[in-house]
Structure 1
Amino acid sequence: MVFTIWTSYRRINHERSNHRVAIYNTLYEIKNYLLLGLLFGVVGSILLTIIGVPVTMDWIIIYQIVAIVSLIFGYRFIHPLFTFSISSLLLIGLSFMLNSSDFSFMPSTWYHPLSQAEFNGKPLLMNVFIILIFLLATSIFTIKRTADRHLSARFLKTKRGKKIAKYPIKPFWVLPLLLVVPGESFHAFFSWWPVFSIGNEQYSFFWLPVLMGLQFTVQSQIPKEAVSKIAKDLMILLGIALISVISSFWVPYALVAGFVLLIVGGLITLDRHRKREKQWSVLFGPAENGIKIIGIRPDTPAEKMNLMVGDTIIECNNLTIETETDFYQALSKNSVYCHLKVSGVDGELRLTETAIYADSPHEIGVVILTK
């Protein structure tokens, strides 16, 4: 939560210093962090409880450590593809180091002193994989639907000294999952912690805040299309996860291999996006004719006119636009109405118009890239 608040204020300060105005005044990062995963958290908690998918305290503790360490690298590796897989592989490694006997593909004569050693076996890995598949599916839906909603431009200069815009996309949210934990781990520390029994086994409930996120930068593609391509790559990884679970019924090491493949696949997904960005020309650079839109403020005439990031304003109120000064002079020609001729990122020309604020004709809500 602290990390999210820091990111939000940092973004606002950057927009004010570079664009003279905050594109998004609201702390939308905090809202997204708290609300994006709420519905899926409730649905997942109900499903996992009904199905019966317990995880151990050993795994939960390792996951929390991995998640916190992942935040050191920003939002890039906070996705469960990385955190869940790394946590599971670390638990397997600790089991080897501490002579565990609880993974069915390990020698049955080994033993280790992990707190819930008797539960840390192949069923645990299967349960983690089931949860991971659910989280991967929900993240694909959420990223595709919301990742390109709030675009805040950053600037960099080309080798020729031209200023261009890029858009860091950093969806980040928490998905609260109610998980079942076998044994008396909580009761040993907190006598008041509720425990229930099924047969001879005792279980407790635990709310696990699963951190969900990803980070990539767009400067050569239409943001919506770039997000769609990443979602398709994640769909492939979802298929690999399903194959790993099914294969584990016949292949002992399928789950371990699956965790490794998901980590590698996540890195390949980010690398494929980076290569796509390098192969294509810069999309958000200065326009040869007109002025480039690099930001749209919400609840403004620009939003009503369906202007988009990457559009180029060619004419305003029937006057040709070449510079920022031309644009403001054209806006002043009519203080209550705005008529624009716009070229989209695909080069298609379109006309759009709307009423503007009579007391502030220059504030139609666009942030433009100055030449």
Structure 2
Amino acid sequence: MEFLKLIGTFLIQPLLWLGILWTIICYSLRIRGDRRNFKIALNKDFFEIRHFIKRGILWGIVGSLISLIIGCYLPMKIIVLYEILAAVAILCTSRIDLSTVPLYILGILAVLRHPTILPVILLLLGFNYFVKGRLTHGENTIWFTPQIKQNRRKRRLAVYRWSEFIVLPLMVYIPGTLMEKLFHFLPLFHFGEVHFGLFILPFFVSSAGRIRGEQIETRMQAVQKQNLILAVGAFVLAVVAWLLPHLGIWWIILMLALTVGIHLYHYLQVNKNRAQYIEVSEGIRVIAIRPGTPAAKMSLNPGDVILTCNNQPVMNENQFYAALQLDSAYCHLKVKTMSGDLKITEGAIYNDSPYELGIVQFRKLN
């Protein structure tokens, strides 16, 4: 019964419902953007809420077990401050990933006011980075909806954004006899004269960014690697902060330096790559594949350029669909990948419905 009440305190947390509400808003914005750019919704699947629930529960269980075993505890005033900062971070998720910023702020405050909880903050930061990397593990390219932009030369290009976030239930200890009065229904443990209660913290984790000139799979692998490095760095510094608490400010500075260094390195690496998902004059640039269509079963990827269709050169949308109608049941494509390699792919299509192939390209300008 007490455990059910504990779960109830999590289900009424404003941060959790803000996360659910923002997930719905992000889905609506994605569908609206698709219809503005392509006149149709490319992927009506509400995968955002499915990921939010499934991954939130999974990592909430894993994180809670680790937290209880290690003994992570936070004062209630730190929890309240975290939830306020995390709420602001959620509202920025569609544009920028700020899920670790509240923890960095709490880390600085811990050095100034509560040095004993700095190792806990660093552990939570490491857990955040680890889960952040797993949020983009195995991401399917159909979940990356293109947005149409213009470069400096006024040529159209596709930019891909991703925004995955969860508010997971993370169980932590809350110290102090005050908790008995304010939260008398919470399970309490007594170690001598020290009292600890249990609290389910709504823990916000997100992974967001954009892709302009990299292959989606390559970018996601880089994101996972970066977050794994940062997670390991935070875990190591948590142990060091526990052993050498009087040097706490230096551990925060070192963690910030590691974060900035990794992101700066990636920024410089990306700028070396001149390739973009840009509109081409020879062939047809594939910018997305609609799920559940014949094209989804072919080995096509965003960024590929279709050179020929059924052995006919194609330069625009009209030529492409005219070539498709040469064979009412099958489609044979010659394709150049983003890396410049040539490949042949083929597959069945819907009879008398070549427009339902499922390849998304730049719309013809009026």
Q: Give me the TM-score of the superposition, normalised by structure 2.
A: 0.85
Q: Shift in Å at residue 129 of structure 1?
A: 1.9
Spell out, residue by residue over 1:57-110, the C-alpha distance to the aligned partner (whole angstroms, 9 max, x if none): 122111111111223433524333x221212323444x3xxxxxxxxxxxxxxx
Q: Give, in whole Å, the separation in 1 of the partners of 2:74 and 2:222.
A: 33
Say whether 1:198 aligns with 2:218: no
Maintained 8 Å contact 1:315/1:342: yes
1:17-32 alignment, distance < 5 Å: 17-32=36-51
Maintained 8 Å contact 1:147/1:170: no
1:1-371 alignment, distance < 5 Å: 1-75=20-94, 76-80=96-100, 82-93=101-112, 95=113, 120-122=114-116, 124-146=117-139, 150-358=143-351, 360-370=353-363
**Residues 264, 185 of structure 1: CA spacing in aligned structure 2 closer, same or farther, 3 A cutoff?**
farther
Q: Shift in Å at residue 149 of structure 1?
A: 5.5
Q: Give, in whole Å, the separation in 2 of the partners of 1:250 and 1:348.
A: 53
Spell out, residue by residue over 1:164-198, the C-alpha distance to the aligned partner (whole angstroms, 9 max, x if none): 11112222222221112122344322433332323
Residue aligning to 2:5: none
Maintained 8 Å contact 1:79/1:211: yes
Q: Give, in whole Å, the separation in 2 of the partners of 1:210 and 1:203.
A: 20
Q: Shift in Å at residue 133 of structure 1?
A: 2.1
Q: Give, in whole Å, the separation in 2 of the partners of 1:156 and 1:234.
A: 28
Q: Give, in whole Å, the separation in 2 of the partners of 1:252 and 1:201.
A: 22
**Residues 337, 149 of structure 1: CA spacing in aligned structure 2 closer, same or farther, 3 A cutoff?**
closer
Q: How many residues align?
A: 344
Q: Give, in whole Å, the separation in 2 of the partners of 1:155 and 1:274.
A: 22
Q: 3-state DSSP class of the match of 1:215?
A: strand
Q: Shift in Å at residue 270 of structure 1?
A: 4.1
Residue aligning to 2:14: none
Q: 3-state DSSP class of the match of 2:306?
A: strand
Residue aligning to 1:112: none
Q: Shift in Å at residue 268 of structure 1?
A: 4.4
Which runs of no fewer than 5 residues in structure 1 stay unpaired?
96-119
Maintained 8 Å contact 2:118/2:241: no
Spell out, residue by residue over 1:249-269, the C-alpha distance to the aligned partner (whole angstroms, 9 max, x if none): 553344433333334443444
Which runs of no fewer than 5 residues in structure 2 stay unpaired?
1-19
Q: Shift in Å at residue 50 of structure 1?
A: 2.5
Q: Give, in whole Å, the separation in 2 of the partners of 1:148 and 1:128.
A: 34
Percent identity over the alignment?
28
Q: Which residue identity does 2:203 align to in structure 1?
A: V
**Residues 285, 65 of structure 1: CA spacing in aligned structure 2 closer, same or farther, 3 A cutoff?**
same
Q: Which residue identity does 2:300 align to in structure 1?
A: L
Q: 3-state DSSP class of the match of 1:3?
A: helix
Higher helix fraction: Structure 1 or Structure 2?
A: 2
Q: Shift in Å at residue 310 of structure 1?
A: 0.6
Q: Shift in Å at residue 16 of structure 1?
A: 1.0
Spell out, residue by residue over 1:146-170, the C-alpha distance to the aligned partner (whole angstroms, 9 max, x if none): 3855111111112222111111222
Maintained 8 Å contact 1:156/1:163: yes
Q: 3-state DSSP class of the match of 1:358?
A: coil
Q: Give, in whole Å, the separation in 2 of the partners of 1:22 and 1:90.
A: 45
Q: Give, in whole Å, the separation in 1 of the partners of 2:50 and 2:249.
A: 36
Q: Which residue identity does 1:159 align to in structure 2?
A: R
Spell out, residue by residue over 1:184-221, the C-alpha distance to the aligned partner (whole angstroms, 9 max, x if none): 34432243333232333222221112111132211111
Q: 3-state DSSP class of the match of 1:214?
A: strand
Q: 3-state DSSP class of the match of 2:62?
A: helix
Once the two structures are overlaid, the 10-residue window that deviates more, 10-19 or 177-186, is: 177-186
Q: Which residue identity does 1:344 align to in structure 2?
A: T
Maintained 8 Å contact 2:142/2:290: no
